[in-house]
Structure 1
């Protein structure tokens, strides 16, 4: 039985390393078939091609930071994960990252619920294939840096939902409040209420967007 594994990373050597590590006899029960990609546009096209050909994608290893596909607003591995969850509902998503900001981590876990979420700093050539095999066998895995990042939010007693995280992250990226409805499926009044709640928690209600972002960075949230 074939196991179709999509690997997306903008460093070809990294993709080849993953292929080599997962070609080991760890996967002897299922012969791995690798679909390699290096950016969001190519990955999108391969996802859609497999869908049209009725070929399942069983596992996806996605780097979070990827060259975007601006035409379809697919900006990173997170957007690819959402696409895969929609098109291949049983696909096991493994996200890999060098970033571990608490808000980004929380947004990903709440929004995507990936089967695997791994900081690249936490893995090596020996542990990586074992982790992937366990995920394929049904385990949920969070690497130590990701777990610690989640704890940071709990320590600060911040319990926002996916949309609250998006609001703060988008503002930090320079998106104006008036344009947030282009990214978040909420009304402007709902967004403004959430933003006011965020300011209440971080700034006690007083301060500009710039103050809000600086405070979030000071707390290590961004």
Structure 2
């Protein structure tokens, strides 16, 4: 029995969006009567997600580029934030994140926070593989491309097993956020954040060094 699929595709390159649609239109996806919802930035995607909600129409499958023009008014800064929104509004939607970045801490944060059904480095796929992977995900598989898997292994090799808040602390510091302002971004007390930060420094710097030293070490290790 065929089902009607609503597929959201968000990428800031219109030709890429059209390529995804063409690839999925020429495969078994066509048997499911797909409706494609196209978007090129966070603001437009945010509005289209809310429009689907108001129409009481679900989104079944979402292909999201991670790097996107942000929607600052609602703090939707990238495809990760869109994925979080979709998880909240459409619990059964299968989410596929696509990226050119594979920094281990970012990859680990995304997997722990969003648990995407698909997580793909764009350098790992081609026109032939893409629709096959999407079909498997739609059928219930979980897919991580080789670069993403190797990125996860880097953390295991270095015996780093931080939770999502630890990852956020290091990532935000690397983005220039001061420690005193971290409670504005992370739902933890200042004392809890300081303890976690001290633990991170213990692991990477043996407890000694500035924030600049910490970020430098994390980048040297390829974590950021």
TM-score range, shorter chain: over 0.9
CA-CA distance at 1:28 after TM superposition? 3.5
Write the deviation string for residues 162-190 of structure 1: whole angstroms up to 9, x where unpaired: 11001101100111111111111111111
5+ unaligned residues in a row in structure 1: which ranges?
A: none
CA-CA distance at 1:29 after TM superposition? 3.0
- Give the aligned CA root-mean-square deviation in angstroms: 0.7
CA-CA distance at 1:126 after TM superposition? 0.2
CA-CA distance at 1:24 after TM superposition? 1.3
1:99 to 60, 80, 101: 101
TM-score (norm 2): 0.98
1:13 to 9, 12, 15: 15
5+ unaligned residues in a row in structure 2: which ranges?
A: none
Write the deviation string for residues 45-96 of structure 1: whole angstroms up to 9, x where unpaired: 0001101110000010000000011111111000000000000000001000
TM-score (norm 1): 0.99
Matched residue count? 222
User: Matches of residues 124-143 of structure 1 in structure 2 within 5 Å?
Assistant: 124-143=126-145
CA-CA distance at 1:25 after TM superposition? 3.2
SS of residue paired to 1:2: coil
Runs (4+) off by over 3 Å: none
* Structure 2 CA distance for aligned equivalents of residues 52 and 78 of structure 1: 22
* Structure 2 CA distance for aligned equivalents of residues 113 and 90 of structure 1: 12
Query: Match of 1:121?
Result: 123
SS of residue paired to 2:34: strand
